Amino acid sequence: MIVYPNAKINLGLRVLRKRSDGYHDIQSIMLPIPLYDILEFTASEVFEYHASGLSIPQDGSVGLVEKAYQLLQRAYGIGPVRIHLRKQIPIGAGLGGGSSDAAFTLKALNEWFSLNLTTKDLQALASQLGSDCPFFIENVPAFSAGRGERLNPISIDLINLYIALYNPGIHVSTAKAYGAVRPYPTPELYQETGTCDSWQEKYINDFEIPIGEVHPEIANGISELKRQGAMYAAMSGSGSSYFGLFSKKPENLVTNHQVYLGPLGFID
């Protein structure tokens, strides 16, 4: 079995307050985008996990794909399987690649072992792995709240929009990013999206200024995309990736650090 975990971008990201559990209450609109990792599942007599492609930082802890397998193994006694991850989505980049890998692992193993878990079941399991993981279970545009696990699917017009996505190769620690941002409980994020030409004023990423001050190449890249005619340009998540949305396929954009240029349209 082969599945293709995709990345996401954020339209705005408001940090409202710090919670008693150490997380933050946030609001954001999350969109799936057509930039993929590859996960392959094959039969095995013992559990195996291998990774290739982009180098994944090793700190001695178990990765999210393995954690997803272990979660189902403990809960449902699933048997062994061999998992190979081809990592292509930039890491520590605000694109949710690790969360997507974990969620797609849950979905694939649910099918592989015929567990018959519902979407709600899978989202509840995914929430144990990370705040962004539940989003990738349904994998549709959604308004997210709480620590990111409370999701409300939304209708949003992405037809004919193009995205230019850049990653400067900077690993931004999520913990350090949250430490640098000042929570603002108001105003809350708009849930009614309207058209793309209204998003620049509506959807502000609270991480963009503090991260851009430390890494000015991000702020400069966003400014350049606006200068080149982007209807909306912003940083995704806590960075370091940034993107511009265009009404038609842009030409003559800077290609340095560009990781995707093409239609934004939703994929599954």
pLDDT tens across 168-211, in order?
A: 998 888 788 888 888 877 777 888 888 899 999 999 999 999 99
Instruction: Give pLDDT tens digits for 53-93.
Output: 999 887 777 899 999 999 999 999 999 999 999 999 999 89
CA distance 215 to 217: 5
Please tell me whether residue 199 adopts helix, strand or coil conformation: helix
CATH of 2-153, one of 3.30.230.10, 3.30.420.10, 3.40.470.10, 3.40.630.30: 3.30.230.10
Mean per-residue pLDDT over the chain, rounded: 93
Identity of the highest mean pLDDT range in 7-11, 169-173, 264-268:
7-11
Q: Does the pLDDT of residue 20 top 90, yes or no? A: no
Asked if omega into 168 is within 30° of 0 (cis), the reply is no
Query: Which amino acid makes up residue 229?
Result: G
CA distances from 182 to 69, 172, 189 (A): 36, 17, 16
Q: Looking at residue 266, what is its pLDDT?
A: 56
CA distance 85 to 53: 8
Domain 162-263 belongs to what architecture?
A: 2-Layer Sandwich (3.30)
Q: Does the pLDDT of residue 157 top 50, yes or no? A: yes
Q: Looking at residue 49, what is its pLDDT?
A: 97
Reading the block at residue 147, the tokens are 């620590």
- Is residue 196 a contact partner of residue 232, using CB atoms and an 8 Å limit? yes
Per the residue annotation, which of 37, 87, 101, 132 is the catalytic one?
A: 132
Please report, for the chain, the start and end positions of each structural domain, with discontinuous segments joined by +: 2-153, 162-263
Please tell me whether residue 61 adopts helix, strand or coil conformation: coil
Instruction: Give pLDDT tens digits for 227-236.
Output: 999 999 999 9
Instruction: Give pLDDT tens digits for 27-61.
Output: 999 999 999 999 999 999 999 999 999 998 877 77
Q: Does the active-site annotation cover 132?
A: yes
Per the residue annotation, which of 8, 87, 107, 206 is the catalytic one?
A: 8
Q: Does the pLDDT of residue 268 top 50, yes or no? A: no
- Is residue 66 a contact partner of residue 102, using CB atoms and an 8 Å limit? no
Q: Does the active-site annotation cover 101?
A: no
- What pTM, to 2 d.p., does this model score? 0.94
